[in-house]
Structures are given as structure tokens and as C-alpha cells.
Amino acid sequence: MLINLALWALPGIVIIVIALRTLLFKADIPDIPADISSSPDVQTAARHLGEAVQFRTISHDIPELTDWNEFTKFQKWIAETYPLVESRLKKTTVGNFTLIYHWEGSDSQLDPILLTAHQDVVPPGDEESWKYPPFSGTVSEDGYLWGRGTLDIKIQMISLLETVEHLLQRHFSPKRSIYLTFGHDEEVGGKDGAAAASAYYQERGIRFAFLLDEGGAVADNMISGFSLPFAAVGVAEKGYLDLELSCSQKGGHSSMPPTRTALGYVSRAVARLEKRQFPLSLTAVPREMFKRIGPFMPFYYRIILANLWLFKPLFLLILAGGGAGNAMVRTTTAPTMAAGSDAPNVMPSFASVVVNFRLMTGSSPEAAEKRVGKVIRQDREPIAVKRLMANTPSKVSPADCREFTLLSRTILQIFPGSVVSPYLMLGGTDAVKYQNVCSRIYRFCPYHVDASELDRIHACDERISLDNISKSVSFFTQLIENLENSL
Ligand SMILES: [Zn+2]
């Protein structure tokens, strides 16, 4: 009788718990006014960014294809444009073109911080299809500066240089040492630039209190149901794996094909991989992100997010619907390149496909490769698997420490009304190269954009608003001033 009663009462209790948790799932956006003694001049910063864009610092996979002369000219321009940075900071070049600046602090007991960006950009694609030439640095009447690198990421580099130059003009000297590092090959993996810089720091026993690199931004309408500006600070990056799946079979004339061809075997492997996707999991970083943004979402999302103890499987299924949500909760599978024969009537003796995987936090290229072998039934099918490139997922930087709080505070000062949250970067940056010298690595670009602006990165018509140039220089000025007081 008693058990029967408890069974009847259970749904009622569950509903009450769900309702209470939903009602208590609240958060405020702190209102912290900006507090900068004086900001660099925006017109000057915009003019300098416009000039910086004119250097064609395009990096290529094959270093011989890169026009290093452009980097030399760019660095000469930096030295001339920022005379105090040039004369008062200690400059070192590593990996031939990566720049390191050391602004010595007055208190050598404090761990330094590292602020990074990269000098290189991706190729412009078809220059004719740009509204304004990609290396012109044109300012349009509606208040945008156009060109390759304006968002990714000469803005960060120029903002840092403007800020430091401005602070030096005002005889500011930091307590804590500040290092600036500007890589030269981030867009092609950072293996010569950031890797050399990180080795430089490691050899000298330099460890950083925290590092800030490019990454997330303040973005509008990036998450369905979330309408406030979302300040996404990358605290981790997914890993990377390219596998080539190939099959060798008898080729020949296509008028007498066998039942299974090389291309058929490879196609079957791809079909199996697409059908049996990697499992879904809500790891710590996305979980924390939804915890922070959840209170600002519509009621039906709040019910789910406040009660993940019950609704996690449902929530994972919603996210798995595709795009960024799916990429946040599983290792993704993307077949990218395929090869067979060169003629319609010739069966290939060798067929191959490259599949690109982006690995979840906590997994590894080895584990992913093992699973792929099982899914494609490598023990039974004549498929060879070759690893082309692999990066382990990054470590996760904490979001509950003084350094993250300092960063959040600075973001709220310059971008009031935004919701700051850690997030998992789906792409890669140079930052991961510094894991040996820093355990608090954050990835954030101080500009406020929407999806249509972000779509221009690595594409046509990349541009930045003058307002964002102003925000970016104010952010770094505020950050360095905050460092004096709060860390
Ligand atoms: Zn970049």
C-alpha cells in the first residue's frame, strides 16, 4: 500500500523539483563601468590598421611560396609606427619572423602575462569579387575598414601595439611583466612561429599567469533562443585528425566490373562512418557554458537546462541536430577529399578518401583511429587507414580563477550587457602551442559582431567597424590597467 502511494506521488515530486530548479535558475549581468584613464586615439588606430592590412603577409603550407619580403616590410613598418614599443621593449625574433616583445614589470616576483596575435593572413581568394580590394585598407562611408586580416587578426595585433605605445607615451610602467608575441604562420599550423616562441619561453623558465590569444568574440544571435550579446572566451580547443582511407583492387576497363570495386569499398567505409557517428557527450566546458547562458534563455530552454539531471539525453539530441551544437558535443566526422580513376570508363586500382575528425576534449587521435577501424570493419574489409595529421585536444583552462574573473570583468566594462562564458573552440589557434608555459590560456577577440560578419573571416569582404576598432583598443588598455589593481 505504502509503495503504491509512493509510486503515485513520484511524478508529482519530479514535477515540483523541475519547477523549483527552473525558478531558481537565475543570473544577473553585473554592471561594471569602464575605468580607463585615457584611451588611444581611434582615428590613429584605424589609420594604422588600414596601413597594416596593405602588407600581403599571406602564409602558405609550403614556406617557399610565402613572400617573406612582405613580412620584412611589415615589421619595418611596425618599428617605425610604434617608436616607443621599439625602443623601450626588448624585441626578439624567433623562427625567423615571429616577434616577441618584453615589457619588463617593476615586480619580478609576479608571473608575467602573454598577449598574442598573428601577423599572417589567409589568401584573399578571387580579389575581383571583393567590394573593395582586399589589401587596400579602404574605409567606407558607413564606417567600416575593409581588408584581409581586419578581423583575423591584425586588429588584435594593432590594438595591442596601439595600447602599449599609448601607455608608454603616458609613462605608464607595469608592475607585472607583459610579453607580446606575434606569430607568422598561425594560418598554416604555427609550427615554426608559435612553436618557436613557446620553446623560447620554456628554455628561459618563463611561465605565464595567463595568456590571451584570438578566439571567441562578443557575438549576436549565435545560439538559437539566446538573444543577448554572447562574450565567448575559448578555454579549450578540439583536437584534429585527418585519416586517409584507401583500397587497392584490380582496376581496368569498366565494362566488366567485379561486384566490389576499390571505390565501392571506400564508399562503404564512408557510409558506415556517417551512419555510426561518434557518441554524444556533454563535457565540462559546454556544460558550464549552458549553465551561464541558460538563465537568459526562453522558458522552455530554462526548464531543460536547469534540469539536466533529467533532460540531458534530450538536450544532447537537440544539440546533435547539426552545425555548431553537434560539434560541441561529439567528435565530428567530415569526409573531405576523394580520389578514384581519371576517366569515366576506367576502374581505379587505388581509391582513397580523406576524412577529417575534430576530436572532443578528453579523447585522443589514437582512440578515434581505433574506433574508425572498428566502424569500417577493417578486420573484414580491404581498407587501409593512414594517419595524415593529428593534434590532441587541448587541455581545459579554468573558468573559476582570478585570471578568468579579471578577463570577464574587463569584457563587461567594454561590452556592457553581454553574458561572458567559457566555451569550447571548434577550430584551432596558436594558443595550444603554449600549454607547456601556461595553464590559463584564454581565447577572445574584443569585438562585437554577428554571424554575417564572422562569415567574412577567411572569405570575401572581411571588414571591421570603426566602433569595433575603438572597442578593441579600449579593451586592451582596460585589461592592462586592471592588471595593476586586480591580479
Ligand atoms: Zn587567426
Residue 160 C-alpha to ligand 1 middle, in angstroms? 15
Q: What is the dihedral of CA 410, 411, 412, 414, to 10 degrees?
A: 90
Catalytic-labelled residue, pool 152, 162, 185, 186? 186
Residue 334 C-alpha to ligand 1 middle, in angstroms? 22
Catalytic-labelled residue, pool 120, 185, 403, 462? 120
Q: Are 91 and 156 in contact (CB under 8 A)?
A: no
**Is 186 a catalytic site residue?**
yes
User: What does the alpha-carbon distance between residue 231 and residue 235 come to, in Å, rounded to a whole number?
Assistant: 12
User: What does the alpha-carbon distance between residue 135 and residue 453 come to, in Å, rounded to a whole number?
Assistant: 18
Could you name the CATH architecture of 239-278+331-391?
Answer: 2-Layer Sandwich (3.30)
Residue 253 C-alpha to ligand 1 middle, in angstroms? 48
Q: Do domains 42-237+394-486 and 239-278+331-391 have the same CATH topology?
A: no
Give the pTM.
0.93
Residue 118 C-alpha to ligand 1 middle, in angstroms? 7
Backbone angles phi, psi at 276, to 5 degrees: -105, 80
Q: What is the dihedral of CA 81, 86, 89, 91, to 10 degrees?
A: 120
- pLDDT score recorded for residue 484: 87
Residue 336 CA from chain centroid, whole number: 21
Q: What are the Cα distances from residue 409, in Å, to 61, 121, 454, 479?
A: 38, 30, 24, 9
Q: Collect residues with CB below 5 Å from ion ligand 1.
A: 152-153, 214
| Residue 242 CB contacts under 8 Å (≥ 6 apart), including other chains | 354, 355, 356, 357, 387, 388, 389, 390
Compute mean pLDDT per 10 residues along the chain, 487 residues long, and list them.
73 92 93 90 96 98 94 98 98 98 96 97 96 97 97 98 97 96 95 96 98 97 90 97 96 91 96 97 97 95 95 95 92 96 95 98 97 97 96 97 97 97 93 97 97 93 97 97 86
Annotated domain spans of the chain = 42-237+394-486, 239-278+331-391, 293-329
| Residue 205 CB contacts under 8 Å (≥ 6 apart), including other chains | none
Residue 299 C-alpha to ligand 1 middle, in angstroms? 36
Residue 154 C-alpha to ligand 1 middle, in angstroms? 8
Pairing label, strands 346-347, 463-465: unpaired
Say how many C-beta atoms besides its own lie within 10 A of residue 429's C-beta: 22
Say how many C-beta atoms besides its own lie within 10 A of residue 485's C-beta: 9
Backbone angles phi, psi at 146, to 5 degrees: -105, 145
Residue 303 C-alpha to ligand 1 middle, in angstroms? 37
The number of helix segments (H) and strand segments (E) in the chain equals 15, 16
User: What does the alpha-carbon distance between residue 102 and residue 90 come to, in Å, rounded to a whole number?
Assistant: 5
Burial of 21 (0-12, 13-18, 19+ CB in 10 A): middle
Q: Are 215 and 428 in contact (CB under 8 A)?
A: no
CATH assignment of 42-237+394-486, given 3.40.930.10, 3.40.640.10, 3.40.630.10, 3.30.70.270?
3.40.630.10
- pLDDT score recorded for residue 2: 60
User: What does the alpha-carbon distance between residue 295 and residue 202 come to, in Å, rounded to a whole number?
Assistant: 42
User: What does the alpha-carbon distance between residue 34 and residue 84 come to, in Å, rounded to a whole number?
Assistant: 26
Q: What are the Cα distances from residue 160, in Å, to 4, 114, 154?
A: 68, 11, 10
Burial of 361 (0-12, 13-18, 19+ CB in 10 A): buried
Quickly tell me which residue has 503515485 as its cell. Answer: 8
Using alpha carbons only, give the angle 293, 298, 303 rounded to the nearest 5 degrees: 85
**Is 237 a catalytic site residue?**
no
Q: Are 122 and 187 in contact (CB under 8 A)?
A: yes
Say how many C-beta atoms besides its own lie within 10 A of residue 458's C-beta: 17
